[in-house]
Structure 1
Amino acid sequence: MCTAAEWDDFRATGTRRPVNFDADGFVHLSTRDQVHLPANRLFGGREDVVLLHLDPARLGAEIRWEPGVPTDPDSMLFPHLYGLLPADAVVAVTPYLPGPDGLFGTPPLP
């Protein structure tokens, strides 16, 4: 997930290198059932967010399932991509809008 403007930049450069990549060493990813957690932390109330639907076979780097941040449920593991995210791994892009309360929920299937 990112803003529509970030997606435009991502397509132009061919890879996504999040600002926290050097510190974390990976790209934070989410499943459909957990994406609302980081969306609400990072983009609460914003209406310019898009979901990037990925083909795991095109990622080209290791994915590890690891804990998120301390406020996430204890048993929840998030996929972390230990490499840059290639634009050609994105197979669909859909708008991700918050509800009337400004909060994101589980997105519909694409």
Structure 2
Amino acid sequence: MLIYKILRSGEWAALQAETETAGAPVDEADGFVHFSTLEQVRETVAKHFSEEEGLYILAFEADDLGEALKWEPSRGGALFPHLYGPLRLADVRWSRPLPLGLGGHVFPDDMT
């Protein structure tokens, strides 16, 4: 199962340069890396990144993240994937820009 992480362009560039990171500032503050499922990612972007440009969506295979990935209740009690460990470039399955269009962010057609 793929899960998704949204990064700002500077955060994505830092991950590419350093090969691992504790995540975005919110991840560092919370002590884990926030991910979303396919069903959750659009709402996550709308809620936390609605007017931001320069975003990237990264896909990760949940099983590849091992025991450091925990499923915990968040918005409305839904289970969200949280990574208690570093976000590693080696675990990225794919990344794509997430441009801001007239009606919001434009997600890739094929997110699998």
Q: Which residue of 2 aligns with 1:15?
A: 20
Aligned Cα root-mean-square deviation (Å): 2.2
**Are positions 1:108 and 2:109 aligned together?**
yes
Q: Please point out which of 5, 8, 31 is paired with 2:10.
A: 5
- 1:62-102 deviations in Å (ceiling 9; x for gaps): 2111122xxx3x2421100111111110121112234423x
Q: Which runs of 5+ in 2 are unaligned?
A: 1-5
- Identical pairs, percent: 31
Gaps of at least 5 residues in structure 1 are none
Larger fraction in strand: 2
Aligned to 1:82: 84
Q: What TM-score, normalized by structure 2, do the two folds share?
A: 0.76
Q: TM-score, normalised by structure 1?
A: 0.77
SS at match of 1:33: helix
Residue identity opposite 2:21 in structure 1: R
Query: 1:32, CA displacement in angstroms?
Result: 1.6
Task: Deviation per CA, 1:9-61: give whole Å up to 9, x if none.
Answer: 11111112132344322100011221112212221122311111113344355
Aligned residues: 105
Structure 1 or 2: larger helix share? Answer: 2
Distance 1:106-1:66 versus aligned 2 partners, 3 A rule: farther
CA distance in 1 between partners of 2:27 and 2:52 (Å): 23
